[in-house]
């Protein structure tokens, strides 16, 4: 299995896990498509991916849209690796969906990551208790502009109980300034939600959080991967991450 194939498989597992660790989340399989709901009113937290090539891609997409409608969501979205499923891509365009985001998937063998370097006044803590979740939510709101009520619903107690998930926060003078999450997905680590508040950026905190997350599961994994924003891509390149594949998100009102 090549790197792109490993990441596709891990990404599917990641969609399942990210839905399962949210209270009220669910996963539905529809005609070769995986529909993963947080069931929060946020399009980016409810999505669709291809498990296998549907016999009728257009019908599969319409069936997945119907599942969104049945949950009361006024939106529909699907994330797909560019070039892997041409018939599904054609059906997405024919269905009138619009491309709303595009990003690379980047990966690095964990053994090739540099040593973690942390500024002297910065501490990284693993999130272990319910009382620690408020710091994650605070950074989520400050860094990504997530509405507080969405952060409250997404970052919850079930995340602490799942052995496939580790969360980390960074602190300066008793205040949370950064976050990162590591998901054990087959024999890989998927790294999500790396964020540092604006006042603490450009100090290496994001890089340190990424390295800590990549090594969260010790020798159970050999590959770390993520999907960076444009702003963060150079930082990940500096850590040794290389682009493996390109992904797009297509969306529509229901």
For residue 50, the enclosing domain spans 3-103+247-253
pLDDT at 94: 96
Number of domains in the chain: 2
CB 16 within 8 A of CB 24: no
Mean pLDDT over 136-152 rounds to 97
Full DSSP string of 58-89: HHHHHHHHHHHHHTT-SEEEEEEETTT-HHHH
On whether both 145 and 229 belong to a single domain, the answer is: yes
Spatial separation of the C-alpha atoms in residues 24 and 21, rounded to whole Å = 9
pLDDT at 253: 75
H helix intervals, the chain? 3-20, 57-70, 86-94, 133-144, 148-154, 158-161, 205-214, 233-239
- pLDDT of 189 > 70? The answer is yes
On whether both 88 and 113 belong to a single domain, the answer is: no
Q: How would residue 211 be classed by pLDDT, with cut points 50, 70 and 90? A: very high
- pLDDT of 38 > 90? The answer is yes
On whether both 139 and 192 belong to a single domain, the answer is: yes
* Residues 76-107: tens digit of each pLDDT: 999 999 999 999 999 999 999 999 999 999 99
On whether both 56 and 159 belong to a single domain, the answer is: no
Torsion of CA 83, 85, 87, 93, to 10 degrees: -60
On whether both 39 and 161 belong to a single domain, the answer is: no
Selection from 131, 112, 115, 217 nearest residue 169 by Cα? 131
On whether both 116 and 239 belong to a single domain, the answer is: yes
pLDDT at 61: 97
On whether both 12 and 114 belong to a single domain, the answer is: no
Three-state DSSP class for 131?
helix
Mean pLDDT of the chain: 96
On whether both 44 and 127 belong to a single domain, the answer is: no
Spatial separation of the C-alpha atoms in residues 44 and 46, rounded to whole Å = 6
On whether both 96 and 125 belong to a single domain, the answer is: no
On whether both 84 and 141 belong to a single domain, the answer is: no
Domain of 41: which CATH number?
3.40.630.30
Q: Is 15 exposed, middle or buried (0-12, 13-18, 19+ CB in 10 A)?
A: buried
Selection from 106, 115, 111, 251 nearest residue 190 by Cα? 106
On whether both 113 and 237 belong to a single domain, the answer is: yes
On whether both 57 and 158 belong to a single domain, the answer is: no
- Distances from the Cα of 47 to the Cαs of 1, 123, 133, 218, in angstroms? 25, 34, 24, 30
């Amino acid at each position: 299995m090549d790197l792109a194939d490993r990441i596709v498989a891990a990404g599917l597992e990641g969609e399942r896990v990210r839905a399962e660790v949210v209270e009220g989340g669910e996963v539905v399989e529809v005609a070769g498509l995986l529909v993963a709901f947080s069931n929060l009113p946020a399009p980016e937290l409810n999505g669709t991916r291809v498990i296998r090539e549907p016999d009728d891609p257009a019908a599969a997409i319409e069936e997945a849209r119907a599942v969104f409608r049945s949950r009361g969501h006024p939106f529909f979205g699907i994330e797909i690796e560019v070039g892997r499923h041409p018939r599904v891509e054609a059906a997405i365009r024919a269905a009138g969906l619009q491309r709303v985001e595009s990003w690379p998937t980047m990966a690095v063998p964990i053994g090739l990551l540099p040593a973690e370097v942390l500024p002297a006044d910065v501490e990284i803590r693993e999130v272990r208790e319910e009382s620690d979740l408020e710091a994650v939510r605070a950074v989520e709101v400050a860094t990504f502009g997530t509405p507080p009520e969405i952060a409250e619903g997404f970052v919850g107690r079930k995340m602490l109980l799942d052995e496939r998930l580790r969360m980390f926060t960074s602190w300066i003078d008793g205040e949370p300034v950064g976050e990162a999450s590591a998901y054990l997905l087959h024999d890989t680590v998927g790294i999500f939600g790396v964020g540092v508040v604006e006042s603490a950026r450009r100090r290496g905190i994001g890089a340190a959080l990424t390295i800590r997350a990549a090594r969260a599961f010790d020798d159970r994994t050999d590959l770390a991967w993520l999907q960076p924003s444009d702003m963060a891509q150079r930082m990940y390149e500096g850590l040794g991450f290389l682009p493996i594949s390109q992904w797009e998100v297509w969306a529509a009102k229901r």
